[in-house]
Each structure stands twice: as C-alpha cells, then as structure tokens.
Structure 1
Amino acid sequence: MEDGSCNYCRTNVADDNNEIASFDENFEEIIGNIKNKQSYDCLLCYSGGKDSTYTLYLLKEKYKLNVLTYTFDNGFLSDYAKKNIQKVTSNLNVDNIIFQPRFDVMKNVFRACILPNDFFSHAAVKRASAICNSCINFVKYNSLKLALEKKIPMIVFGWDPGQISKKSAIVKLPPDFLLASQKTFTDKLVGAVGDDIYNYFITKDEMQHHISDIPYYINPLYFNDYNMDNINKVLSELGWEKPSDTDANSTNCLLNSLANYFHEKQYGYNPYIQDASQLIRKGMISREAALNKMKNGYCLEMVSANAEKLGVNELL
C-alpha cells in the first residue's frame, strides 16, 4: 500500500480491446441467427434506470432488434422511473410489460432480507445488498419464465461494466443449472414467505417443456462504450430525466437507501463499492465521483419512510 494502491489495483489486468470486440462480433453472429424468427428478438429487463435505458437504446438503434421490455415493480419503483419508462419506450417504439407481485409477498421477502440470514453467498453480498439480490433473483427467473412462454431467444440485462465479468457478457446456461440456482433461492425464502414464493418462478415441468428454447443471457454494456458523457447525451435525447426521489446509487428504486443502510450496518461498507472500484480501474469514472456516491449511499429520510412501510422501524 506504499503508493496508495490495493492488491486489486496492483494485479488488475487492463481490458483487451480485441477480446472486447470479439464479444460484439459474437453478439452480432447470434443476432444473425435469431433475428425476426419470433415475435420478439430479445427481452430486456428494464428498470427505467440510466443503464438499462442506455442498453435499450443500443438494442434498438445499434443492433436494430425488436425488443420487449420487462419491468419488475417491487412496490418501490420510483415515480420518475415509471415516467421514464413510459417516455423512453414510447420514443423508441417498443413494447413494455410491467409486472408487480403482491406487496405482502415482497414485504415478507424484504423483511427477511433485513434480518440476519444466509440467503446469498458471500460473493453475492459483496456486490449487492440482500434486498437487491432478492429482486435480482425475482427478475432473473420471472423474466426467464416470460421468455420461455414467448419463445424469446435472448434475455438482456443492463449491468454496467463494473457489475459483471467477461464470463457473464454472453452466456447460455444449462437448464439443470438454472433450476438448481433458482431452487437454492426459493427453498431458503419459503420459510419466511410461504409457498406463494413459487408462483413467481419456473417449474421443472415448464423448463422441460421449453427445453429447446433456453435463451442466451446478454450483458451488452460489457462490450460497448461506457462513457457517461455520451450516455447522458443519449438519455437526454430520449427524454429520460434523472430522478430526484432516489439516492445517489440508484436511478429507479426507492428502497435502495434502506437496502444500503442495513448492508452497511451489517457489513460495514457500501454494497456498491466493488462496482465503483472496478469502474475506476477501467477509467470509466473518477475516484472522486465514486467516493461522492459512497458518501451519499443512503438518505436517512428515505430509510425511515421505507422502514415504516415495511414495519421494521425497530431495527433502525
């Protein structure tokens, strides 16, 4: 640490531009094989935030895909995000499905995530809070259920380059792995939520029925330019507006402050720190900008309001 650099930075290997380009070529090849063969070319998990909005722009304008956007409303979707979803999908002429599970189910899920638990691996909670991980799992498997029903050949996510590794940029996962991974999550939560949890996930019979329709998982921001000045310019042209009702680390979710608060309380650090650190190493954000986001990891007013909504005030 003599020069102020940690072991991660000292051992960091710069991105290979040729390797990055090869991912784009691979994606273009997949597009050539699947385009216009189903009602939609891909299903985008669309939160209305800046990264998924920019991803939607790339899918529509760069790759010329027919996109179905899927929005998971966990009961805490920002009103600004809802307006952005409506404006952007309208301006880009794409369809949108908003799925909102029963609030009593999600409330029990979030309450269980706040309490000490072993729902997620150490690696998972290093990158995201337990609350965020729970929503990620709902989105991942509920979108798979929808993609299989509609025979959509690709599911796309808007993770930024600091949130994913190259092995996740383009992947098609085996059905048995998907079912086992899903079961790990649902079996741990069933005690807190009850059997209602299974309504939102794919069954083994459904998976077997669609065994030939398993989609690719694509994360285009890994192999596309991630320059915030360019991204903000595109977002502005699409009519997207930065929300004023979320914290510094989210542009779509009102619950993020509470999730960050309890994560920091339990682990002692902001769950976005690994993402921010990787973006710094890639030269995509400045250290100062990242530190500012970490210092403003949650809004106490939002923490209090959402703790009351979930009935967990006594845990603050």
Structure 2
Amino acid sequence: MSGILRKCKRCLLPETYETLEIAADDSSCNMCRGSEFKNQNIDWEKRKNQFDSIIEKYRGKNDYDCIVPFSGGKDSTFTLYYLVKEYGIKPLVVRFNHGFYRPGHEENVNRTLRKLGVDFIDFRPNWTIVKRLMKESFDRKTDFCWHCHTGVYSFPLRIAVRFNVPLVIWGEPLSELSAYYTYEGDDIEFEDEEKFNMVRNLGITAEDMYGMIHDDDFPVDRRDLLPYTYPTVEELKKLGCYSVCLGSFIPWDYRKQTRMIMDRLGWVGLDIESAPRDVNGEFAKVECWLQGTRDYVKYLKRGYSRVTQLVNFEIRNGRMSSEEGQRLVEVYDAFKPASLEVFLEYMGMTEREFNETVAKFAVAPWEPDFERDLPETRLQDMDSWYRENNRKEGEEKRG
C-alpha cells in the first residue's frame, strides 16, 4: 500500500477515519477530546437521574413501556439486560434480521431472550431484494450494508408507530464511534431522522433506492422498500416518539458491560476474521459473517484495520498505551477474509470487479495495493453459512 497517512499520536486513528480532526502537531484528535470530556466533565449521576425520570414518564402507559432495538451483540444485549434488571420494565424487543447472523450468535440471542423473559419480534426481509440492495449500495458507495443500516434504524421505529410505543431505547451512542455527534457538547444524543439521513442511509433514501433497483428486467414492488423507510414526521409527532441512546445516560464501558452479560446471561464471545481474540477481547462485531469482508473493504479504502479501531477504544479508555497499541497494529495490520468468497457469490462478482469498484472509492492520500499478499483468515463456523453458487465463470473459487 502507498500513501503516507497522518495519525493521531495518542489514539492512532489515521486522517482517513471519517469525521477525524487531528491536531496540528498530531498529538491528539477530536475523538480523544470527546473521550476526555466524557470521563472528566459529564455529571453521570445527573444523567442517570434524568433517565430514571424518562422511564417513569412512559412506564405503564401502553402495552409496552418501550421498544428495544436488538441484534444480540454485546451492546444491545447489555442494553436489554440493564433495562429489564435495573428498571423492571416491559419492553418489546425488535430485531431487523439482515440475514447473516452466525450460528453461535443465534444461540446467544435465544439464551438472552429466554433468561430475560421478553416479547420479541424478529423480521427478516425479502432475500432477493436484499441482494439487489447490497449490490447497488456496493457499486455506488462500496458499502454493501445499506439494507442493514437502514433497516436496523427504521424498522424498530415503524414497529413503535404500529404498536403505539413512544419510547425507543438504543444502546451505544454514536459519540463513541465518530464525531458526527460528540460528548463535548454535553447534550443528549437522539436517534432521529436527522441522524438517520446523515449517518445511517449513506444519503440514499428508500425511495431513491427503489428508483435505482427497479427496472423492466427486475420489477420491484414499492412495498418491498417499506422496511427501509423511516416513519413520516406526522406519524412520529402523533406518536410522541422519544428515541434515545442508553449511552447518553450512563458511561458506556465495553469491557465492563461485556463481562457483565457473559457472567449473568451466559453470553459467549465469538472470533472474528479481522482481529485475533487477544485484541478483540470485548468481542466487538461478532454477529455477522460478512463483517470480515466489510472490514477488508474499509482497509482497502482507508488504510486502517479493525485492529486499529479496537486498540483505539482501549487507548481512549486508558487501558492501553499508545506504544502497545502501535505494536499490535503492526503485528496484526490486515487480513484477507475467507468470507470475501461468500460475498462474491451473493453478488455474482469476480474479485477483479470487486477490487476495481473499491479502488474508485479509495480515500486520499491512501492508495490500495491489491497485489499485497495478506494472510487469510477463516472462521470455524464458515461451513454452516448459507452459500450461493453464483460466481462468474472463469474465476477459480478460493475456498
């Protein structure tokens, strides 16, 4: 790979990281400042009292006290556990099933739901439409997860409207991950349409996407795009929707929370393709079998790996030195995921076509080197994943 990247000397994030602003002397960045503000300046006791009042305001007013959007990963599992055990509320748990949940992850989901005793809606959208959406968003943005990110953040709101449940409680705030929102403003982070359009849907609405994938050869019913369509302003106003992140009211701590759900719910961590277990000790991004490919795309486009993000969290939370983080990044720089083969099957693409698309979206000054020989990683549960024999003829399969 070529192109020298400036990096924050403290947390190691590079200049190609979205929303990052590095100090002139590279000594810190806006993400570092946000973490410092979170740890030193926010009155978390006051925030917790504020959340107590929110819960009591909505408790017992409807068939359910709140909607909890849920994937079954560490953050949504902790959120659900915390709400049920801390407040004894009756939630309606809603999952938009993107279609790529791993077997071990589903065991975690079932174990959690049974132990907590909650009602659960699991929605899986039309697979044929999903593949078209993935291909379209990959070709236009190199992000094949449009259907997931729009569905995950719009479908629970649609259920809130349908079941007349105004309070929607998400988990991790975006302030932990980017500077679109930041702790520095000391504001409550709402999960609303403004954030949906700015961050979640890549600037492509469901109506836009309908126009992109509908044609004479592949006619699409507009109703197939409803799961990805945010409720109208009128619907949300009538509902009195209040959609917030739990992480705005309690100090979000991945390590503490993951240990809690492992101890109390029997939640089991899984390996991922893009980072070894000794780096991903909090088991981030273990749910989806295409996560490794998503991380690989990011590495090719922006020049940093999942390992960089993981050590960044540890450094900003004071659990790792910058020097140790840099050592881990150098050792576990990048991997080529075996899941790429599965993705190419779904899309009916060759690896050359994949590389050509990614190259067009590389973020300067980074320049991807597709000839670099990266170590390949393969997960033990890969043989149980759904496969499609849909690769173009003339390209040999890798696994």
Structure 1 range deviating more: 256-265 or 160-169:
160-169
Give the match's secondary structure for 1:171. Answer: coil
Give the match's secondary structure for 1:130. Answer: coil
Match of 1:171 among 159, 171, 190: 190
Structure 1 range deviating more: 240-249 or 267-276:
267-276
Give the match's secondary structure for 1:217. Answer: strand
Match of 1:131 among 144, 158, 183: 144
Task: Determine the C-alpha separation between the residues in 2 that align with 1:236 and 1:293.
Answer: 30
Q: Percent identity?
A: 20
Unaligned runs of 5+ in 2: 1-5, 11-21, 215-221, 276-283, 356-399
Shift of 1:148: 0.9
Tell me the residue number matched to 2:205. 185
User: Which structure 2 residues correspond to residues 101-140 of structure 1 after superposition, within 5 A?
Assistant: 101-117=125-141, 130-132=143-145, 134-140=147-153
Tell me the residue number matched to 2:164. 151
Give the match's secondary structure for 2:56. Answer: helix
Match of 1:141 among 154, 159, 164: 154
Tell me the residue number matched to 1:124. none
Tell me the residue number matched to 2:376. none
Structure 1 range deviating more: 93-102 or 132-141:
132-141
Pair 41,188 (structure 1): closer, same or farther in 2 beyond 3 Å: same
More helix, by proportion = 1
Tell me the residue number matched to 1:234. 261
Name the aligned partner's letter for residue 312 of structure 1: M
Tell me the residue number matched to 1:259. 294
Tell me the residue number matched to 2:109. 85
| Number of aligned residue pairs | 302
Unaligned runs of 5+ in 1: 118-128
Residues 12-64 of structure 1 deviation map (CA, whole Å, 9 limit, x = unaligned): 15224543333222211111111111111121111111111111111111132
Name the aligned partner's letter for residue 171 of structure 1: F
Tell me the residue number matched to 1:37. 61
Match of 2:28 among 9, 21, 25: 9
TM-score using structure 2 length: 0.64
Task: Determine the C-alpha separation between the residues in 2 that align with 1:18 and 1:41.
Answer: 27
Structure 1 range deviating more: 5-14 or 77-86:
5-14
Match of 1:215 among 238, 241, 245: 241
Name the aligned partner's letter for residue 120 of structure 2: N
Task: Determine the C-alpha separation between the residues in 1 that align with 2:103 and 2:148.
Answer: 18
- RMSD, matched Cα: 3.6
Tell me the residue number matched to 2:251. 224
TM-score using structure 1 length: 0.79
Give the match's secondary structure for 1:135. Answer: helix
Tell me the residue number matched to 1:46. 70
Residues 119-156 of structure 1 deviation map (CA, whole Å, 9 limit, x = unaligned): xxxxxxxxxx8334542221111111101111112222
Task: Determine the C-alpha separation between the residues in 1 that align with 2:226 and 2:235.
Answer: 17
CA contact 1:44–1:56 (8 Å) conserved in 2: yes
Tell me the residue number matched to 1:250. 285
Tell me the residue number matched to 2:373. none
Structure 1 range deviating more: 289-298 or 87-96:
289-298
